[in-house]
Amino acid sequence: MVLFRSFVFLLILYLLQESNTSLVQLNSNGYKDLIIAINPDVPDNEILIEKIKDMVTTASTYLFEATGKRLFFKTVSILIPENWKENPQYKRPKLESYKHADVIVTLPVLQGRDEPYTKQFTACEEKGEYIHLTPNFILGKKQNEYGPTGRLFVHEWAHLRWGVFDEYNDDKPFYSAKSKKIEATRCSTRITGVNRVHTCQGNSCITKMCRTDPKTKLYQKECQFFPDKDQTEKTSIMFMQGINSVVEFCNEKNHNREAPSLQNEKCSYRSIWEVISNSEDLKNSMPMVQSPPSPVFSLLRIRERIVCLVLDKSGSMGGNNRLNRMNQAAKLFLQQIIENGTWVGMVHFDTSASIKSNLIQIVSTNERNQLLNSLPTTASGGTSICAGIKSAFQVIKRKYSQTDGSEIVLLTDGEDGSAIQCLDEVKESGAIIHFIALGPSADEAVIQMSNVTGGKHFYASDQAQNNGLIDAFGALASENAAVSQQSLQLESKGLTLGNNIWMNGTVIIDSTVGKDTFFLITWEKQIPIISLWDPSGTPMGSFTEDRVSKMAYLSIPGTAKVGVWTYSLQAKTNPETLTITVNSRAANASVPPITVNAKMNKDTNSFPSPMIVYAEILQGYLPILGAKVTAFIESNSGKTEVLELLDNGAGADTFKNDGVYSRYFTAYSENGRYSLKVRALGGANAATQSLRYPPNRAKYIPGWVVDGKIEANPPRPEIDEDTQTNLESFTRTASGGAFVVSNVSFPLPDLYPPSQITDLEATPDGDMINLTWTAPGDDFDVGKVQQYILRISGSILDLRDNFDHAFQVNTTDLLPNDANSKETFAFKPGNIAEENTTHIFIAIRSMDKSNLVSELSNIAQVALFIPQGDTDDSHPNPDSGINIISLVLIVVGSVVAVSIIVGVTICVLNKKKHPRQFTTRF
């Protein structure tokens, strides 16, 4: 039995490698189970559904040809909002939900902001989160600006599926090429066009030659690249797929390694096709002889939510206050988290299972109270997980003929060797299993049930002050409801009090929330003295006390007052464990609330591989910058590691200022489960809402060159990308679920090198070169490195592939700073041995005290010349004040003047030779 259970656990570890929520699978060259979800805020429009079908069908053919007749889209589900009108074609979803959506169709974040993009904040070759499209784009209203929808979809699919990046860079649109000219950042360089400043006011447009910036020696910000409408070049889809001739990805032979494209910066100068070819999709597929079939679409409409609680009441739940803590968390879920209109049932299980409540639709507090009274009060017996799950299926089938799309919330603290036996039945049910593991002995096999059904997995230790159980239930809001309807956790905090019997603090309620605000206090021994004041200092009314469950709660009527709420909890005994949890909903359905989503980069990990913590803070889809974000990672035994997450574009953080805060996690204290919790604090005038266009977005085409003239597209909305709106103070907490770590051995060896430097920049200053970068740490992004190894070369590939043989710069005077500090260094490059050198390329590796060396940094470059701008006279400069007629007159006048001068000269000479000859000939 032990051997069998070990095998099952290893199988689970293998299956749970990634935390990506996509359900897409590659089957016989075709992608199955692609989910395109329409946001509830999008108005009902059946034409939109047909256009989605057209887009994917066209994309499938384009993808098939672009991948060498290998890959295509096979089956696609379109998830339709519940508030759209009913249609006989619409079926009930099974595992499909907004959480698993590969494509989200939603309204633009700001009026006119219809740019397609892919949410991608992981490293090269790692899958993205989702593709973001707007109805205007899908309906074909933005084709001139972004190209045909099917082609653009393949561009974004490459981001999402294969972790490649764009072959342009809006922050670095031009560069100094080896040709000693200024070139547009693109791939391939055989894409032709002109660099111009094109501005319009009303119907009047002016085209000017681009001017160079005296500091950068490149074109000024207003300059744009206008591609020729008619081209013959086939690459690249990741630059400008809207060009008719473009049907391929750049490969190793035609890849432009000179350009400062995101693909070069993030993927070590490898071409798109090199990265794609290294993916499992390409490795597991062969070119097809016949053309692929058209995609098959399923139309799925969101229905009312169905949830059955399956709660463990076995004998082990009687210890460590587990039964009572489970009831506290379940009461929060039933009173505050679960949405009105939801159907809820309940099952208890130990050695066997019993149905305690059939499905009840929640429409008032009466139904909630009825379910509260069904919670278990005693613990006894063994553990039969399958009995509990099968009883839940019975509960659901008493109301519905099928269990498709229903949710089972399974909480257990024990092991059950027979749990694996009902896995096939769970797979076939179409139900979603959310698993809450309580304590260190909860059954591992149930993780697989959660994984194969697309459910969530949480872990709560026996350390009540960490509030893990309440956090887990609090994270079970509907995945398909609009965010304005979801309960958001503003605070979750606990303390075990010793000599100090006070637990004091504040909770910030910002203007984006305040509806259905709910304060929950729990204790272990005696009810504390509870005091709560609103922002104006007014004491709040009495809390409702539930002394049996050892909890007290207060619901704020209407919309809670915006500002800082102050609480004070005084324990009556010593020691005592107290917790406070605060939840609220959006104050206004038309104003998106600030949200926090947390996750690890993997659901399971084998030591010594590092892990990465991610927390994304958004308002709607706009990123929130400048917040203080802290991660709390709790081990199986309750030990907590605290990490400050950063959005600085260094270390584990892929993009700076994208609202995604990241950090490496390597402080493993044991094998087994860990849980993640994140707290975000936005200080007044410190946190800002960024209006910057998202990274990994489709390239906006400003216009086309047709017959030598620019045909401009409608301009993008005038938004200063550096504009950041100051926000009021806010607090949020979020559970990032559980993950599993194995093969940890002690004492922990020093196996972690410094993290890769990804933001190295170089600027010339006379005969010196100034460098800046963010300091890595001794172990990835923690501590301080021992030294930097700086080398230069005249060849970017030689520096990348033969770094140890490149010329080394003396860095004796460079003393490393602590991780995440800004480093600066200046040096005089001297002579580069390579002939015909046009650039100096610079890279860094860092070394720690154990002589472990980091990966090679991004490669910075400095041009050894001043690049030439365009001198193309075929596009005259209208802004110079000289039109064609004036130019002709000037030329004619010049000819006449020269002729007069020549004539006079001849005349004078002739006079000297023939004094009596007066006739002058021209």
Catalytic residue list: 156
CB atoms under 10 Å from CB of 131, counted, come to 25
d(CA 513, CA 510): 6
Structure tokens given for 741: 């770590």
**Helix (H) or strand (E) segment spanning residue 762:** strand 761-765
R_g (Cα) of the chain, nearest Å: 32
What six digits make up the tokens of 246? 């473009």
Q: Which of 124, 112, 219, 233 is nearest to 173 (CA)?
A: 219
Task: Provide CB contacts within 8 A for 70, sequence distance 6+.
Answer: 29, 64, 282, 285, 286, 287, 288
Burial of 98 (0-12, 13-18, 19+ CB in 10 A): buried
Tell me the CB-side half-sphere exposure of residue 551, using CA atoms within 13 A: 22
Pairing type for strands 296-301 and 75-80 reads: parallel
Phi–psi pair at 771, nearest 5 degrees:
-115, 145
**843 in Cβ contact with 805 (< 8 Å):** no
Q: What residues are paired with 844 via a beta bridge? A: 790
Taking the C-alpha atoms of residue 481 and residue 99, their distance in angstroms, rounded to an integer, is: 11
Which structure tokens are listed for 444? Answer: 């591992």
Does residue 262 contact residue 160 with C-beta atoms inside 8 Å?
no
CB 193 within 8 A of CB 225: yes
Q: What are the CA-CA distances from residue 231 to residues 88, 235, 236 (Å)?
A: 46, 10, 12
Supply 728's token pair: 């009021």
3-state secondary structure of 99: helix
* Spatial contact of 392 and 310, defined as CB atoms under 8 Å apart: yes
Q: Identify the helix (H) or strand (E) that includes residue 846.
A: strand 839-847
In sequence order, the 6+-apart residues with CB closer than 8 A to the CB of 731 are 490, 491, 507, 508, 679, 680, 681, 682
893 and 224 in contact (C-beta within 8 Å)? Answer: no
* Sheet strands side by side (includes 551-555): 488-497, 576-586, 513-523, 551-555, 544-546
In sequence order, which ranges of 278-359 are alpha helices (DSSP H)? 280-283, 322-332
DSSP readout, 497-553? ESS--EEEEEEEE-TTEEEEEEEEEEESSSPPEEEEE-TTSPBP-PPEEETTTTEEE
The CA distance from 194 to 192, in Å, is 7
Whether the Cβ atoms of residue 259 and residue 167 lie closer than 8 Å to each other? yes
CB 249 within 8 A of CB 187: no
CB 66 within 8 A of CB 272: no
C-alpha 585/C-alpha 285 separation (Å) is 47
**Tokens describing residue 742:** 């194995």
Return d(Cα 519, Cα 509) in angstroms, integer. 12
The length of the chain is: 922
> Could you give the CA distance from residue 560 to residue 519 in angstroms, rounded to a whole number?
11
Q: Kindly report the backbone phi and psi dihedral angles of residue 585, in degrees, each rounded to the nearest multiple of 5, phi listed first.
A: -120, 170
